[in-house]
Amino acid sequence: MDKEYVVLSVFIAVALILSIGTIFLYQLSINEVSLKLSQLSGKIDALQAKVSNYEYRLMNVEENLYNLSSNLTSTAILTIAQHNLTAPEAVYEKVKNSIVLIKSRIVLETLFGKTYTSAEGSGFVYSPDGYIITNYHVVENAESVQVFFPDRSIYTARIVGVDPYSDLAVLKVEAGEKILYPLVFSDSSKLKVGQPVIAVGNPFGLTATLTTGVISQLNRLLESPGGRGIPGVIQFDAAVNPGSSGGPLLDYSGKVIGVTTAIASTTGEFAGIGFAIPSNTVLRVVKSLIETGKYEHPWMGIGGIDVNMEIAQLMNLEKAYGLLVTAVAQGSPAEKAGLRAGTRIVTLSDGTRVTIGGDVIIGVDNIVVFGLTDLLSYIEEYKRPGDTITLKILRDRIEMYINLTLGAIS
């Protein structure tokens, strides 16, 4: 009986010990789980903070992308997104059907009679009813002109109007039911040096050639085939060569910012400097060419040279800036206004012969004139024949003002 009692007691004791141990271990497990949950909760909080930070950054990225995309047309953006294209690729897909090759049959009058030659250049569609923009020198003295489209269709073109002084021409093709795709223009007054650009044309007859580059400088003065300076010209470094003339210079949204017109080269081939007539000038001239067949430029009737340090010293001027009037055309607006040309011819250190002693134009309508480019750019952009301008001049080192009513030249 006592043995049974002892065994029972031992069994109960062991059971109690095991129960207490189990409870203790269970409590330890609960504590460990609680600790791990607490640690996990901390990590979750940290991850949530990081997610919030990334969400904020993503919002900024989306905003930047939106701002960037505002410079591209929806078509270009869609093309890039769908086909993983770069901007030049997207622009090319957008404009390629609007670029044309122009071939002209040129008539030249010689001592031995008429001779014939040919010229090639580029152009692009201006309107869906068949107006084409190109350079004047591409169709100068042309007896006939043909326009070649990328789909190999060919049309005989009529010359609607030309302007030798801005080197622009407008052609017209009767394309029937053919769908034409006019290019869209951008505001050239908003261009920046360093801005990326795309040139598309037909150099050496190689159709629809695309090159890229940047705007190297703005407001260059370029001599036109008519012998008059073209102000506000865009200088760029995208490769262009003979045959590229008349093609569009585009921004990265595919809009026209200029018309390629010339290169600076001693060999006749590209040397890193190209020039384009700015789009604002193109639009102004083309509108008049379509309506009247010509464009009347404001005209003063003077010849001049920018004042440099040497000229300033010879004329005892305090500052070396302004446009020295070296010649005044008889019967011109300048003569009627009383502008005076120089009377004394001198030879400068570089060998240039200059007539000094005339009026020096230093301002126009409260705008400072540092040289010929400033004066021409202002009257070409903002004035028309018949408008009156106020010139600020130096005459014998004395400041005075002269009113001049602009004439016309076309």
pLDDT in tens, 112-162: 878 889 999 999 999 999 999 999 999 999 999 999 999 999 999 999 999
CATH of domain 95-173: 2.40.10.10
Nearest alpha-carbon partner for 300 in 342, 331, 344, 343: 331
Q: Is 245 a catalytic residue?
A: yes
CATH of domain 297-409: 2.30.42.10
Q: Which two tokens stand for residue 227?
A: 């012998």
Q: Distance (Å, rounded) from C-alpha 179 to C-alpha 159?
A: 21
8 Å CB contact between 370 and 321: yes
Instruction: Classify residue 93 as left (phi > 0), alpha (psi -120 to 50) or beta.
Output: alpha
Tell me the average pLDDT across 47-71.
50
| Active-site residue, from 245, 253, 279, 377 | 245
The residue extents of the domains of the chain are 1-70, 95-173, 188-284, 297-409
pLDDT computed for residue 252 by the predictor: 95
| Active-site residue, from 104, 163, 166, 167 | 167
Convert 252-270 to b/e letters by CB count within 10 Å (16 or more is b): bbbbbbbbbbbbeeeeeeb
pLDDT computed for residue 181 by the predictor: 96
Q: Is 137 a catalytic residue?
A: yes
Q: Distance (Å, rounded) from C-alpha 71 to C-alpha 74?
A: 9
pLDDT tier at 224, thresholds 50, 70, 90? confident
pLDDT computed for residue 14 by the predictor: 52
Least confident of 11-15, 218-222, 234-238: 11-15
| Active-site residue, from 122, 137, 188, 251 | 137
Tell me the average pLDDT across 258-275.
78
pTM: 0.74
Evaluate the CA torsion angle 106, 110, 112, 113 in order and state its sign. positive
Fold match flag (95-173 vs 297-409): no
Residue type, 370: F
According to DSSP H, which parts of 272-367 are helical?
A: 279-292, 309-314, 333-337
pLDDT computed for residue 70 by the predictor: 45
CATH of domain 188-284: 2.40.10.10
